[in-house]
Amino acid sequence: MSHPLAFANQCLYHARIVQAGWQSLLEAQREPSLAINLAFAPLTQKVLLDAYGWLLLAGCRVTSAPEHPPHTVRDLPSLPAGLVLPADIAICAELESSGWLAELQAPISRNATVRQYNNLATNSAVPTLEQFDLWAQNLTALAQNIADAIDES
């Protein structure tokens, strides 16, 4: 297993731990769910984006891991002349513009709520635990695809 792939798997493991803590606090109902979401969402996002960055590096077969992973395809180190982005990474670039990766990469509002004009109801602008669970599942599937591609090469 390449170092970046190992780091990605470690981040995914840490994300599961953070999400379990998030779930426990929501179930305990001692604090407002919005406050818990605001506390956990930025940390969970960072851990998942780190996992994603390590996956990008692994997918590009980068063997010397940088201190911090990139969080987007455009932040990847330049490939040697004559090499193109692997197919999995090209798909990631597309998903960053419009797809689940774009949603994961979107800044999380520190504003607790968003109020629409002429509507007294408020909607949370903070992604929920369920949304992060889905993104983590997508990253786990991406990790498997990249691991398979590495094994085949």
C-alpha–C-alpha distance, residues 23 and 15, integer Å: 12
pLDDT greater than 70 at residue 147: yes
Q: What is the mean pLDDT of residues 78-106?
A: 91
Residue 11: domain span: 3-152
Q: What counts of helices (H) and strands (E) characterise the chain?
A: 5, 2
Per-residue confidence at 44, pLDDT binned at 50, 70, 90?
very high
The pLDDT of residue 113 is above 80: no
Task: Give Dmax over CA atoms of the chain in angstroms.
Answer: 57
Question: How many alpha carbons fall within 13 Å on the CB side of residue 91?
Answer: 12
pLDDT bin (cut points 50, 70, 90) of residue 52 is very high
* E runs forming strands in 17-144: 113-115, 122-124
Instruction: Report the alpha-carbon distance of residue 45 to residue 107 in Å, rounded.
Output: 9
pTM: 0.88
- Is the pLDDT at 152 greater than 90, yes or no? no
Number of domains in the chain: 1
- In this prediction, residue 115 carries a pLDDT of 45
Concatenate the DSSP letters of all residues of 97-138 into one string. Answer: HSSHHHHHHSPPPSSSEEE-TT---EEE-SPPHHHHHHHHHH
Q: What pLDDT digit, counting tens, does each position of 5-26 carry?
A: 999 999 999 999 999 999 999 9
Average pLDDT over residues 103-125: 66
